[in-house]
Structure 1
């Protein structure tokens, strides 16, 4: 389908500063290049997810940590620091925030329409992009219409049209061109223009065939990323490319396997590839935080197996940047030195995010109508709730704000796992209260009344942009997970009155409630684990009467638990819960899953099912504090004997629970 491809003209790579003769602040490669050398600066954006503007539509407020309009200002400044520069993108453009949903579900795309993401990108002079896994979320026809509006080419070497793979990857009937070769002019150290041929190849995670099976089954297939790279890169070199750049919408993992999701490390090992642009994981490379201690991964220099590589965050938070010093060897160019960095659009000052760049006003103006339409969309109801959603009692009783998250996670994963080896394994769901007062104040609670739910209300239910994960664990590990959660409660002495219930050093986001099992918490026992996950009282058993399907849980039985990337990756230091237990990494955020669930159900019933409670301690009472509006919901809390106990400090209200 020819409308997907765009002819690449012979364009100069000369950047603004060099073209005007302004050599101030030039990169050392530009300043020191000899007559037979040239500096090429390659800038990357990745995982924009329709975040063209610095606005969080879920929270319905501006956000200084995101937005291509901010990254654009970085791009413009960086171009001026190099003799030669080019801009590429690494995929995941079309889905991920309510603007994307508005275009896909509400406005629609007709032939000839220009998607907001393309309105912004076309202003910035991109040379090429590849496909990310989220490009397929709205179907192939939608994707085709969006890509048709780009004034730059898209490439993908491992997405095959139809249902069959050829014996030789070069014989695959690809959905897009596997690569492009850009014929360019580059200015060398003497100031003379020289021709250069730059090959760009792209890859998408093969797992799209699982994540978007409904949209893709029978229409396309995927091939292993590294296999495709090894097949096509030699052809790119045979076709005369001086250097080869890989746009790998795939993260960094050093454990090799077939059909890897995160294969960029091994892409770097393919002979002929000179630089690797990565993404997908929403992390930053190089840097001091992510990918430490991985062999042959240099997080300081920004190399994978010695090749320069970069991952530029997500949502426009960073611009990836690789600088290449090229040297002319006869009629060919080769890389003789390289540097890599990820430049942020904001910095953290006094626990607040402070922007370091201003908006590109061209993008702001181009998207004003789309922005206003999206605001109207997120403020409009997408469904209804038949019960109020509140978190005033989330730390002391089963709670509707947690219940709806678990319902959505279970709904989502049950469909995904139904055709897998885990289809018959019991599915549980873990969720925690994020807005539960504490240090954030007496107004920091979820409170959504019966009736309409707007998309922005979802931010009240799920504050963080986590993504869904599934782990497989045993019944014994389910119990230990709950033992860790129960550490939020102080030890309570039987027979004493008005003891403080909550350990305020234990964060509420680590108080996981697991749906699908029933259990009680014996507060007379000391916490088994401390707030940091350390074993405090090995013989303690706070979790009692733990049942599945009406029977005591089988310690050796297998269970799949729906959770988020933070918990599944080891966040909170829960016993035995870490990345080794993950069986499924979803491409979708928990927020998006909740929105889809509400839309699918029309009217949700988030009433808490009371699957957990405190074990009785006759003659014992405890005190806890919550928001002032909690009084309106006391009657809803069926599992507790609870009564007002006066005013707390700073606007909180005290309540007494009779155990």
Structure 2
């Protein structure tokens, strides 16, 4: 059986013509400078995880931000095209959700058939060659996604998203998108002679979208394992004449061993025979680079290879431009890769005072293209909905009960109790699970919620709850409540009693999986190892970090039933919390968690977000631990309830260091 999805390359704006070979402003890549008569330099540029951050503007903080923005990354494009004889531009997914502009377009303005989303306006202006899907493309539903992507002037590929049940042969899957496309591009060799090269692009999305967006996909779609799909389609691409095959993998890098339907499968995808280079994303990290993937077998963080093949992960929100440079050599009538380099080029750096310095300016065409939507988004996020009597901040959300998490739980309990008050679950106690979404980490020292006392606007609510999750509730036992908290406690490293300034936080544990459960009281014993590993598997059966767990002042009854208000991600099994999955769900609400918070604030008029200190660390006399947070948190450190926090100097990359006295 033969498949062919070959199409001519889209009309490109010409490279910056007439750039002098001796120009002081542009330095040709070595491959372009030394290519022989039968060799050609091909540069492929990547953006990934833009999340609607077209402008260098933080809508949550309502101020410019030089660390983000496709309009800034775009300014690199002319430069990096000028450094190369031949180039192509791709996107690796997660375009449509992630900031208030995305919400404004989905909930306020809407995208009908024929409308052009601002993301598509920007990308079309930049002349992308190809793109693939990210998991957040599905957050607003299939109709919104298709109406938006239909505005792209470039092909979108995805080889592992089907319209129904999986076929026995992946090549017989009824796919929503073309699994691959082969673009025929005219390239110039070392003598300036032009000839065509066939570049194949194949795309992949994390299979977990079926859990994360079950409300939008259940009964409508299915996903296949990434590596399995690649093994089926890459030989077809070769048969169809692809000289070079590039994987667009919206999937991260995980060296823990290959498994079925793996979320971060790019390392093992790179091992598929026939793939020449791989663009990765999803994890919001940087590859190649000095730290994010150090120690993973098969990943060379200096050379930028996965399983020996060139690979790049270009950060997030436009923070980097990913570059893979290929030296191609003609072998008869076909081109093959004979050498490569990789780079993740940042749009900013920090000076000796740790201040952000922009390394590029806005591209005027992109700013102009989205001006109307940018201004409409500003008006949208500045709309007030109520007041808060105290500041809302998340600088210490991982080390003490926190006001930004508290208000989410207050709203969830209020909402779920109201929905259940007349039904069969009306007599069950209602708890709430909520996690801090903005807690610094890999997203930087400014990535925290910070709302002063006074008016609360929509931008503040969106800042409290970043994702358009919907409210769900599960019915579980007291024993399962304890295990839920044991899983959350994986956020922390084990700290022996008496240790001095031990590292507190497990940097591999995402903050959105650090659930605090309100409605019970408990302590966390850091001298114990984590009971569960990151996959929710029992790692240390004798370990119990959660101690003194009480409900209404009494030790919790392991058999008692509790309703726990949460979101569709967690209730559906997201985060792999033990025994928390769809079979425990008793309420599937129609409203987003964010809308519930807005309604709660409107109903209250003025909210009191003060944390109730329902959890704390078990005292370990003579023991201290250190952690990093945003430097603006220094003003709140002394007021944190249930924890003694001291300043401990400067941290890395703009963070402040704090000491927790245990």
TM-score surpassing 0.5?
yes
Aligned equivalent of 2:261: 259
Aligned equivalent of 1:16: 16
Does the alignment pair 1:306 with 2:308? yes
1:461 Cα offset (Å): 5.0
1:600 Cα offset (Å): 6.4
1:267 Cα offset (Å): 1.1
Aligned equivalent of 1:318: 320
Distance 1:479 1:216 in 2: 27
Aligned equivalent of 1:340: 342
Distance 1:165 1:613, change over 3 A: closer
Aligned equivalent of 2:367: 364
Deviations 1:539-577 (Å, cap 9, x if unpaired)? xx999854136531479999999999xxxxxxxxxxxxx
Aligned equivalent of 1:373: 376
Distance 2:297 2:414 in 1: 39
Residue number among 140, 145, 149 corresponding to 1:143 in the alignment: 145
Distance 2:146 2:401 in 1: 46
Aligned equivalent of 1:494: none
Structure number with greater Rg is 1
**CA contact 2:433–2:516 (8 Å) conserved in 1:** no
Distance 1:226 1:483 in 2: 30
1:148 Cα offset (Å): 1.4
1:8 Cα offset (Å): 3.8
Distance 2:138 2:483 in 1: 36
Distance 1:55 1:476, change over 3 A: closer
What count of residue pairs does the alignment treat as equivalent? 542
**CA contact 1:50–1:97 (8 Å) conserved in 2:** yes
Distance 1:432 1:164 in 2: 34
**CA contact 1:428–1:517 (8 Å) conserved in 2:** no
Does the alignment pair 1:45 with 2:44? no
**CA contact 1:426–1:558 (8 Å) conserved in 2:** no
1:222 Cα offset (Å): 1.0
**CA contact 1:59–1:459 (8 Å) conserved in 2:** no
Deviations 1:430-458 (Å, cap 9, x if unpaired)? 659989xxxx9xxx974344xx6322224
Deviations 1:159-209 (Å, cap 9, x if unpaired)? 111x22111111111101111111111101111111111111111111111
Distance 2:107 2:579 in 1: 30
Aligned equivalent of 1:165: 166
Distance 1:235 1:461, change over 3 A: closer
Aligned equivalent of 1:226: 227
**CA contact 1:406–1:431 (8 Å) conserved in 2:** no
Distance 1:546 1:55, change over 3 A: same
For the residue of structure 2 that corresponds to 1:197, the secondary structure is: strand
Distance 1:600 1:293, change over 3 A: farther
Residue number among 102, 105, 109 corresponding to 1:103 in the alignment: 105
For the residue of structure 2 that corresponds to 1:310, the secondary structure is: strand
Aligned equivalent of 2:477: none
Does the alignment pair 1:552 with 2:555? yes
Deviations 1:413-433 (Å, cap 9, x if unpaired)? 99xxxxxxxxx9987446599
Distance 1:44 1:482 in 2: 34
For the residue of structure 2 that corresponds to 1:78, the secondary structure is: helix
Distance 2:490 2:338 in 1: 55
Deviations 1:51-83 (Å, cap 9, x if unpaired)? 111000111000000000100111110000011
1:234 Cα offset (Å): 0.5
**CA contact 2:430–2:565 (8 Å) conserved in 1:** no
Distance 1:237 1:412 in 2: 55
Aligned equivalent of 2:134: 132
Distance 2:368 2:412 in 1: 38
Distance 2:155 2:516 in 1: 47
Distance 1:372 1:459 in 2: 17
For the residue of structure 2 that corresponds to 1:308, the secondary structure is: strand
Distance 1:71 1:144 in 2: 25
1:237 Cα offset (Å): 0.4
Deviations 1:282-339 (Å, cap 9, x if unpaired)? 1100000211100010011110000100000000000000000111111111111111
Distance 2:594 2:308 in 1: 43
1:7 Cα offset (Å): 5.8
Distance 1:433 1:106 in 2: 24
Aligned equivalent of 1:249: 250
For the residue of structure 2 that corresponds to 1:16, the secondary structure is: coil
Distance 1:146 1:164, change over 3 A: same
**CA contact 1:406–1:430 (8 Å) conserved in 2:** no
Aligned equivalent of 2:518: 515
Does the alignment pair 1:182 with 2:183? yes
Map residues 610-625 of structure 1 onto 2, 5 A cutoff.
610=612, 612=614
Deviations 1:335-392 (Å, cap 9, x if unpaired)? 11111110000001112111001110111111111111110010114x546x635359
Aligned equivalent of 1:575: none
Distance 1:584 1:93 in 2: 29
Distance 1:190 1:584, change over 3 A: farther
Distance 1:614 1:273 in 2: 50
Distance 1:602 1:329, change over 3 A: same
Aligned equivalent of 1:354: 357
For the residue of structure 1 that corresponds to 2:407, the secondary structure is: helix
Aligned equivalent of 1:198: 199
For the residue of structure 2 that corresponds to 1:106, the secondary structure is: helix
Distance 1:141 1:351 in 2: 44
Deviations 1:254-293 (Å, cap 9, x if unpaired)? 2211111111111111111000000011110000021110
Query: 5+ residue gaps in structure 1?
Result: 415-423, 488-502, 522-526, 531-540, 565-578, 586-591, 616-625, 641-659
Which has the larger displacement, 240-249 or 107-116? 107-116
**CA contact 2:347–2:358 (8 Å) conserved in 1:** yes
1:513 Cα offset (Å): 6.5
Distance 1:142 1:459 in 2: 20
Aligned equivalent of 1:207: 208
Distance 1:43 1:18, change over 3 A: farther
Distance 2:580 2:345 in 1: 31
1:126 Cα offset (Å): 0.5
**CA contact 2:13–2:127 (8 Å) conserved in 1:** no
Aligned equivalent of 1:57: 59
Aligned equivalent of 2:452: 447
Distance 2:30 2:136 in 1: 37
For the residue of structure 2 that corresponds to 1:244, the secondary structure is: strand
Distance 1:513 1:262, change over 3 A: closer
Distance 1:159 1:168 in 2: 14
Could you say what the CA RMSD is over the residues aligned between the two structures, in angstroms?
A: 5.0
Distance 2:215 2:576 in 1: 28
Distance 1:319 1:604 in 2: 45
Does the alignment pair 1:456 with 2:452? no
